[in-house]
Chain A
């Protein structure tokens, strides 16, 4: 809980507002290289962009967020981290390297645990967004995972010691961009199969934007002073599944370990 206390102190110091402002600037500069919105995008009746649909990345981000050549257990990828490298503190980098070495047994994904935020977004299985004016509901095919992004003006809970797997998500609109502030995490999730990690002080600011009717430009800024020396940014595109009849198929994969114990009885 040390890191938790640290965060609380940090919040109390009022530093966070200034930092958040700087994050937005960083993030906005990162956005400079993305295409502007083209063509018509779907909208709700209130005029806000409508993200409803089934989405999935085509990137290799979940294998490794940083640029990497092919490995036996990962296709190559250019990475999705702005600047290429995650700015780990020296101690955290050591831990990441240990995680990397143990990745084929230690990745929480292998136990089918909830992937967390943002990993669930760029994990290579589809998720479906259901959207109302007041919230977005993200149903992930992988695991028993439903994430609500509140867009009704409510604030993070006063009690900030919940330690959610997915964080607590509160959003507002900046033009056609949905900006989501996510905090109050536990430290049980990884960010990739390469052992990238965070602790409970993780704070994620996501920026969701439709660049055309079938493509979401997803950006996120991650900060966690116990693990990273500065905030850092990722950006990945999500593509709409348009195959006729495509639908989410439940994958409560943690049940597969005991599936063998539940044969359907027969006469």
Chain B
């Protein structure tokens, strides 16, 4: 049943995986050149790029080879995408299917809760295995198109690692969803996975976090990079991922047997309650767009806080990244291609704008998914029964999405921590020096140059690329 219910997810993510690895592999042959010198130059460029993303992805091994390049460009990104898939599937089973009555029907058929949890976890493991195998197949097909060969063992290991990480994320999300209330399950599981990801990735920058990275499945994923020549596969890390999956799934199954359907395992004491026969009096319900924003206020708040935290993290990392870049003399000519004025704002703009674009794209995707759910849950039908035209509803939805994106993008300005980090990380004395956080409308037009500071203060002049020894 799990495979049947998740068939579109399997098809969709397999397609994304295949396209991602195939495009990156064939792209490598397009840009890498054919001589060792050309490939070494590409490798150096990729290393420079990786240095800017060190807070997200581990440094690549041999990016001058197709294996190292695709490991860095495709498989590391797929690990994040598959983690999101695992999160959505786990909370969908634990809470979504429960609300739709699918879980109740399955339990009524004589299936035990433990067996149901096990069957859905195994089904997802099969799905993750299929999608990972398709990712590996995309890589092999791309390599074949370049008339090269790669070691089959490395490809299999890369696919197996990706599947193991995905299943471990699924099991952890499943466990959290059993503990939290239905409305908070997705947020709680998201917070856990994001926290585990950041603990590992930020430990590359903040040494104090390295004490805790053992708790993150992403750590065990990164300990192996089997695709590039000279890469490695750590069987113990792979077994740890399998162990996390089994233990978390077993704990989730146990928690499921201990709680009531529709209720969390951990109960919060009820607040004082007063019944009412009146409609809500808040005037926001009467204002188009505002009412839809109000309905999703908790989600918007979570996105805004997440964006502000990410902004603070990136600003605080900028100084470290720039120092790393400036310590490599061979990178200076490469950097001069992209950066003509101040380096700190340029690097910050480049890294943060890229990540913020991804986050806002994810926000847009979740919003569109919400519209789809409105259709299947019958809300759209009841909205259409009011005197609203279909076009009006579409326009209102677009306005809600744009307003939500602006609110989230603007959340950076509400973050004092981010502002302090900005001053500390970039030597910039004025928060207004930094160009506004990106919104979907502005981010596509932004470039590192557009983020340059115009105040002309002493510290800005000192931090300009033309005087790199700041």
Do A and B bind?
no
Q: Enumerate chain A interface residues (CB-CB to B < 8 A).
A: none
